[in-house]
C-alpha cells in the first residue's frame, strides 16, 4: 500500500514539474508579442547567460571543478564563427565568408579541440593550481584576440551581421528571439539528460569523493576531461549566440571577468541544479537593470550582494526554494555544538 502511494506521489510530482516547465516555455514563447525590441533583447541576453552559467554548473556544481577560464570556449566559439562568416584573411577562408550553417559547426569543432587540449593539460593539476592555469589559458586567448588586429579586429572588435538561414530572417528581433529560445531549450534539456544519466552520477561521485571513485574503478581523469569538453561545447553555443545578438565580437568575451559572471550566476542561483542558472541569470540581469538607473556605482552594490549570498545563502536561491540552504552561521552553530559535546 505504501509503495503504491509512493509511486502515485512520484507520478503526480513528475506531472506537476512537466506542467510547470511547459507553462514557463509557453510564457517565454508569448513574450515577444507583448515586449518591444529592448525587452525582447533583454530576454535574449537572459537566455544566453542562462546557457553559459548552466554549462559552468556542469563543472563546479556536478563535478566539483572550479575553473576561472570558462570564458575561453565562450570567446573562441564566437571568434571562430565570426572570422569564418566575415571572411577574414585566414588560410582556407574565402574572402566572401561562408554561410552561418557551415561556420557554426566549424566554431564548435574549434571549441572541442581547444577544450580538449587545455583540459588535458590543466586537469593534471588540482585545486587552486588548476583554477589558475585555466585563468592563464583564458588570458592568453584574450591577448591573442587583442593583438591579432588583422584577423580579430583587436580592441575595435569583429563586426558581423545576422544573415538569413534558409529564408529565416535572423536580423529580425522576434525571429532571432525564437531561434535562441529553442536552441537554449534544446541545450538545457541535453544537459539535464546528461546529469541524470549514469555518466552524470559518476560526476557527482567524483565531486563528493574522487579517491573513492577511483577505488570503484572509474578513470576520473577521463570523466573530468569529458565533462570539461562538454561544458566548453555548451559555453561555445552561448558564445555564438551572444556574438550574433550583439553583431560584434570583442576581446572582452575572453576576459576572466566574463567567466566570473558565470561563476557568480551559478553561486547565486544554486550549484548542482542547472535550473538555478536561470534564477541566477534573472537575478543578475534584473539587479543590473534596476541599479543602473539608481546608483552610479552599481557594480559595488552587486559585489556586496554577492558577498552576502556567499555568507548567508551558500546554496543559492535554489537552495532556499527547496529548503536545503545552510549559511555560514549554521556551520558555526554546528561547530559550537561539537565543542560543547566534546567538553561534556
Q: Structure pTM?
A: 0.86
Task: Note the pLDDT tens digit of each residue in 127-164.
Answer: 889 999 999 999 999 999 999 888 888 888 888 888 77
Q: What is the pLDDT of residues 207-237, one digit of tens each?
A: 988 899 999 889 999 999 999 999 999 999 9
C-alpha cell of residue 325: 540552504
322/334 Cα distance (integer angstroms): 21
Distance (Å) of CA 23 to CA 31, 47, 280? 12, 17, 20
> What are the sequence ranges of the domains in the chain?
36-269
pLDDT digit string, tens, across residues 242-251: 999 998 899 9
Give the torsion sign (CA, 181, 183, 184, 186): positive
Cα–chain center distance at 259 = 9
Q: Which residues of the chain have pLDDT under 50?
A: 1-3, 5-6, 9, 327-336, 339-340, 342
Q: What are phi and psi of 111, to 5 degrees?
A: -65, -40
- Inter-CA distances, 131 with 41, 98, 122, 124, 128, Å: 33, 36, 8, 12, 5
Amino acid at each position: 500500500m505504501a509503495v503504491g502511494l509512493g509511486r502515485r506521489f512520484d507520478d503526480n510530482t513528475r506531472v506537476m514539474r512537466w506542467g510547470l516547465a511547459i507553462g514557463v516555455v509557453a510564457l517565454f514563447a508569448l513574450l515577444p508579442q507583448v515586449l518591444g525590441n529592448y525587452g525582447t533583447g533583454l530576454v535574449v541576453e537572459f537566455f544566453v547567460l542562462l546557457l553559459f552559467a548552466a554549462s559552468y554548473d556542469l563543472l563546479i556544481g556536478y563535478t566539483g571543478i572550479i575553473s576561472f577560464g570558462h570564458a575561453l570556449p565562450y570567446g573562441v566559439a564566437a571568434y571562430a564563427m565570426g572570422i569564418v562568416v566575415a571572411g577574414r584573411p585566414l588560410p582556407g577562408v574565402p574572402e566572401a565568408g561562408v554561410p552561418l550553417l557551415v561556420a557554426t559547426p566549424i566554431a564548435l569543432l574549434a571549441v572541442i579541440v581547444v577544450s580538449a587540449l587545455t583540459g588535458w593539460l590543466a586537469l593534471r593539476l588540482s585545486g587552486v593550481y588548476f583554477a589558475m592555469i585555466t585563468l592563464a589559458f583564458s588570458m592568453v586567448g584574450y591577448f591573442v584576440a587583442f593583438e591579432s588586429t588583422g584577423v580579430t579586429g583587436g580592441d575595435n572588435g569583429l563586426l558581423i551581421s545576422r544573415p538569413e538561414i534558409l529564408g529565416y530572417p535572423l536580423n529580425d528581433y522576434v525571429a532571432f528571439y525564437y531561434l535562441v529560445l529553442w536552441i537554449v531549450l534544446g541545450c538545457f534539456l541535453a544537459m539535464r539528460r546528461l546529469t541524470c544519466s549514469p555518466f552524470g552520477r559518476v560526476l557527482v561521485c567524483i565531486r563528493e569523493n574522487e579517491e573513492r571513485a577511483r577505488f570503484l574503478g572509474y578513470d576520473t581523469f577521463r570523466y573530468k576531461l569529458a565533462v570539461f569538453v562538454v561544458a566548453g561545447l555548451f559555453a561555445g553555443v552561448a558564445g555564438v549566440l551572444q556574438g550574433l545578438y550583439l553583431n560584434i565580437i570583442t576581446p572582452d568575451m575572453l576576459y576572466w571577468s566574463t567567466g566570473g559572471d558565470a561563476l557568480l550566476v551559478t553561486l547565486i542561483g544554486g550549484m548542482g541544479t542547472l535550473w538555478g542558472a536561470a534564477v541566477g541569470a534573472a537575478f543578475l540581469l534584473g539587479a543590473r537593470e534596476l541599479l543602473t538607473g539608481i546608483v552610479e556605482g552599481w557594480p559595488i552594490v552587486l559585489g556586496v550582494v554577492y558577498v552576502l549570498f556567499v555568507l548567508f545563502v551558500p546554496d543559492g536561491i535554489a537552495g532556499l526554494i527547496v529548503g536545503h540552504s545552510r549559511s555560514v552561521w549554521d556551520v558555526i552553530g554546528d561547530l559550537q555544538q561539537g565543542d560543547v559535546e566534546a567538553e561534556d
